[in-house]
Amino acid sequence: MSEVLDVAKRARTAAAGLAPLPRKDKDAALLAMADALVAHSDRILAANAEDVTAGREGGTSESLLDRLALTPARVEAMADGLRHVATLPDPVGEVVRGSSLPNGLELRQVRVPLGVVGIVYEARPNVTADAAGLCLKSGNAVLLRGSASAYRSNTVLVDVLAEAATSAGMPVDSIQLVPGVDRESVQELMRARGLVDVLIPRGGAGLIEAVVSGSQVPVIETGVGNCTVYVDASADLEKAVAIIVNAKTHRPSVCNAAETLLVHVDAAPAFLPLAVKALRDGGVQLHADERAAAYDDSALPVTDEDWAAEYLSLDLAVGVVDSLDEAVAHIRRWGSGHTEAIVTRDVDEARRFVKSVDSAAVMVNASTRFTDGSEFGFGAEIGISTQKLHARGPMGLPELTSTTYVVTGEGHVRS
């Protein structure tokens, strides 16, 4: 048996031990894991510094280096995420629905763990802690397969988290790093049907497509973030400028950053001069259509590749549209189904926008940056799903469970 299948088999055993554990035991382990991250911060940061240095020497882009890099504050934030997950209700055992059938049987649909969850992700070592914590709280064993670029960071993180969890009474092998840094280890994980219950890819379009297309294990698809902010004719200009600047520049390397700005033709003359100045002051390069370019002489001509792009950088595609319907049509053609935002004072237009765009999250007079498990009150998140089956949007604890029907009778037999 390969090393990958061996860890999957051990995770299967651990999952059986995790499933029946009470909340208090899992919460105690989460708090121990959080304390361990802080206690071993120097060790974690040293390993991460080696990853960042290697990435920079290898020509990794600044946006990816930003995702890769850890700081004392980011380690503390990872620990705080685990502590917050410990305060959340345990989804395991929750009754989703129940009824008394006409024949007297009592029917309950109850949440249960998925079992063994494999996470395949790129660059971001904070995912290691988030995924470990959420999976443990929801009663799942987790197999973590980060990218080669973060291998040193993830190795130390998993060592720290797994040791703390085991010391707190969790089954051995509840949290494991998938061995290997080449594609074969990912492919073996994708072929581990019967040992791994679900795979969740987090990363760029190439990674996600490779896992979705090639996996024999069921996949919960997370998606890229080509997010759009639409400024309607009635928008409050001050709020609209603040929202697009935040959505684009607050942290441009993440999936909920805005990549496209659409402006209603009636708002453009007053809004775009203000927005262009604020965005340029923030270092943003605009890729504009003909009407938007009239307000920025440094804008580059927008292309189809720009409209479709998840830049993950200080670049923004900008266009002027004649109506909300045109904005919606643009989003449905070029968007990724992640997050869209409308800035408007017209309640009816806001409602129509929410109903018309087909995305996992829709913001009304708020930045796209709020599409995040932590901001939604889920603690950490396992990813942001853009599919429509089982889980959509930021995935918290309930999305890491399945259900079992429990039927209770008094000697009932079917006639």
Would you state the pLDDT for residue 390? 80
pLDDT at 350 over 90: yes
Q: Indicate the pLDDT class of residue 387, thresholds 50, 70 and 90.
A: confident
For residue 20, what are the contacts with CB-CB under 8 A and spacing of at least 6?
Answer: none
User: Considering the entire predicted model, what is its pTM?
Assistant: 0.86
Mean pLDDT of the chain: 95
Distance CA 21, CA 36 (A): 21
Would you state the pLDDT for residue 34? 98
Would you state the pLDDT for residue 230? 98
Residue type, 84: H
Domain parsing of the chain, residue ranges: 3-222+395-408, 227-370
pLDDT at 12 over 70: yes
Backbone angles phi, psi at 104, to 5 degrees: 95, -10
Which pLDDT tens digit goes with each residue over 297-314? 999 999 999 999 999 999
**Cβ pair 190, 199 in contact under 8 A:** yes
Which pLDDT tens digit goes with each residue over 95-150? 999 999 999 999 999 999 999 999 999 888 999 999 999 999 999 999 999 999 99
Q: Taking the CA of residue 112 as centre, how many other CA atoms within 13 Å lie in the half-sphere pointing to its CB?
A: 14
Would you state the pLDDT for residue 1? 58
CATH class for the domain made up of 227-370: alpha beta
Distance CA 242, CA 403 (A): 43
Which pLDDT tens digit goes with each residue over 26-76? 999 999 999 999 999 999 999 999 999 999 999 998 878 988 999 999 999
Which pLDDT tens digit goes with each residue over 169-199? 999 999 999 999 998 999 999 999 999 999 9
CA 228 to chain centre: 17
Tell me the two tokens of residue 130.
């988030």
CATH number of the domain at 3-222+395-408, please? 3.40.605.10
The CA–CA distances, whole Å, from 310 to 63, 110, 401 equal 12, 39, 30
